[in-house]
Amino acid sequence: MNRKEIEALRERVGCAAVLEHAGFAIDAKESTRRAVKFRRGAEIIIVTHEGRGWFDPLSDAKGDVFGLVERLDHVGFLEGAGRVADLVGFAITEPEWKAPRPDQNHDPSLPERWQSRRRPWLGSSTWAYLCGERFLPATLLRAAIRQDRLREGPYGTMWAAHTDNAGIVTGWEARGPEYRGFASGGTKVLFRLGQVTALRLVITEAAIDAMSLAAIEGLRDGTLYLSTGGGWSPTTEAALREVASRSDANLVAATDANPQGEMFAARLRTLADTVGCDWSRLRPPEEDWNETLKIREKEKRERKEDGVPHSHRPPQGKLRPAEPALDPAGRDAGGPEGVMKD
């Protein structure tokens, strides 16, 4: 079988056909148009990329239709390609995705959709993603859960709530091993973690970065960690303007260490000048705060494996800063370039 024939098979046979032929069934309630969830007993496979890709949310396995056959049938590529060829013309018995039939008399609001999802728990797929892949400590996750900031999304994703200044959920950032998006029909305002009345307002571009910086700083007293979700909508700007208008507020631009992060920081500086609050720039040592956290945690684990003791080990179950104050002496935000809108 040559390369041209392989490419033709990849186009003609979708992952859904392989899964149905193998006895998997669609979980309509946990599926979306872009990510269709299939189950066979305890096994789960998520089909993506319009049926051409897949991943296992319970492991790191992923690939195309050939890799799927190899995984399910435990065969090599050549034999797997032959089995894919046998499925040419195989018609699945139901569409790859059907929207769940809504209740004719009720259209759930965003807050209701949020409340219908479970909070993450030790051992859940969201907990495993945040703790295992993103290196967020369990103590930080418990703090975010106590503040009702996290929910278990479908197919192994995390939902991180955006709320308005009255505390109403307006949407959520959704992140997972193979997914990045925002709540359908939702509005980006601000993800918030920490003391809602705090005067030190730390702004990041993603909820995971806000939580990562909070973990590094040990949920610093008097601080509210915020995320814009990567956007700058009128509602986001209005919410920031309101919280920054508090007397003695300090707006900290903790955006990414890249050109877009610098542009966001410049816009935050302009907003601070407009409302008359203090302002400072806090750049992550790496490109973003989650990457910084991951590198630090990996180094800690390596030192522990090498038998190097930690000095001033924090009490179990409590967060404390990994280093003294992170605020730099300088306050330069970079150039005055404009900021891209979402």
pLDDT at 70 over 50: yes
Tens of pLDDT, residues 280-337: 999 999 999 999 999 999 998 888 777 655 544 444 444 444 443 444 434 443 333 3
What token pair was written down for 334? 């970079």
Candidate from 165-174, 197-206, 247-256, 305-314 with smallest mean pLDDT: 305-314
- Residue 172 burial by Cβ neighbours in a 10 Å radius (0-12, 13-18, 19+): buried
Q: Which residue pairs from 142-146 have beta carbons closer than 8 angstroms and sit at least 24 positions apart in sequence? A: 143/193, 143/214, 143/219, 143/319, 144/193, 144/211, 145/119, 145/120
pLDDT at 101: 52
pLDDT at 245 over 90: yes
Bridge partners, 175 (sequence order): 158, 180
pLDDT at 301: 82
What token pair was written down for 201? 């307002």
- Rounded CA-CA distance 35/16 in Å is 11
pLDDT at 51: 85
Q: pLDDT grade, residue 233 (50/70/90)?
A: confident
- Are 13 and 6 contacting, i.e. CB atoms less than 8 angstroms apart? no
Q: Which of 102, 88, 118 minimizes the C-alpha distance to 21?
A: 88
Whole-prediction pTM: 0.63
What are phi and psi for residue 49, nearest 5 degrees?
50, 50
pLDDT at 267: 95
pLDDT at 328: 44
- Rounded CA-CA distance 64/61 in Å is 11
pLDDT at 75 over 60: yes
Greater confidence (87 vs 223) lies with 223
- Rounded CA-CA distance 97/31 in Å is 7
Q: 201 by DSSP, 3-state: which?
A: strand
Instruction: Report the chain's terminal Cα–Cα distance, integer Å.
Output: 46
Per-residue pLDDT averaged across 163-182, rounded?
A: 91
How far CA 219 is from CA of 139, 147, 200, 211, 214, in Å, comes to: 10, 13, 12, 9, 5
- Rounded CA-CA distance 202/225 in Å is 5
- Rounded CA-CA distance 50/64 in Å is 11
pLDDT at 295: 95
Tens of pLDDT, residues 115-162: 999 999 998 999 999 999 999 999 999 999 999 999 999 878 899 999
What token pair was written down for 244? 């920054």
Q: pLDDT grade, residue 108 (50/70/90)?
A: low
pLDDT at 8: 80
